[in-house]
Amino acid sequence: MASQSVRYNSFSGMIPVRSRPSETLLLLPLLPVFVVGIFPMLLFGLLGFPGISLFGILLICVGLADGLSANSNFNQQVIVYGYADRDHRSMHSSDLHSATRFALLVDVVGAALVAVGLLGFFWFD
């Protein structure tokens, strides 16, 4: 009972209480989650369903920019350095394909958010 603190209760007298470690150490690893989640939550809270549509439009713009940037990098490699040997060609083309797949995924998520925002705006408002 020496390592436990004691709390007094008016009904039964002494109650041993176990001390718990502080949970403030969880704040540091979870801080990026809070920072990333603030923007969409504020958009939805302040603007409602049109805010979700706006966020979807922003995601579509990011996806299109990422896809165009990948195509630009590939074209620059081909124009400046020419077609390299087979290994380097496959490396550059796989980089292009992976970047365009990710850009397409971002575009699809953005389009889904626009659709959800429009449906929510016309259905619930």
pLDDT value at 67 more than 90:
yes
pLDDT value at 80 more than 70:
yes
pLDDT the model gives residue 101: 95
Cβ pair 64, 107 in contact under 8 A? yes
CB-hemisphere CA count at 13 Å for 48?
8
Determine the residue type at 31.
L
Average pLDDT over residues 94-98: 89
Q: Which of 16-30, 31-45, 106-120 has the highest mean pLDDT?
A: 106-120
pLDDT value at 12 more than 70:
no
Tell me how far apart the alpha carbons of residues 82 and 85 are, in angstroms, rounded to a whole number.
10
- Which tokens go with 87? 């290994």
Average pLDDT over residues 31-60: 86
- What is the largest distance, in Å, between two alpha-carbon atoms of the chain? 87
Q: Which helix (H) or strand (E) holds 41?
A: helix 27-47
Query: pLDDT category, 124, cuts 50, 70, 90?
Result: confident
Q: What is the pTM for the complete model shown? A: 0.64
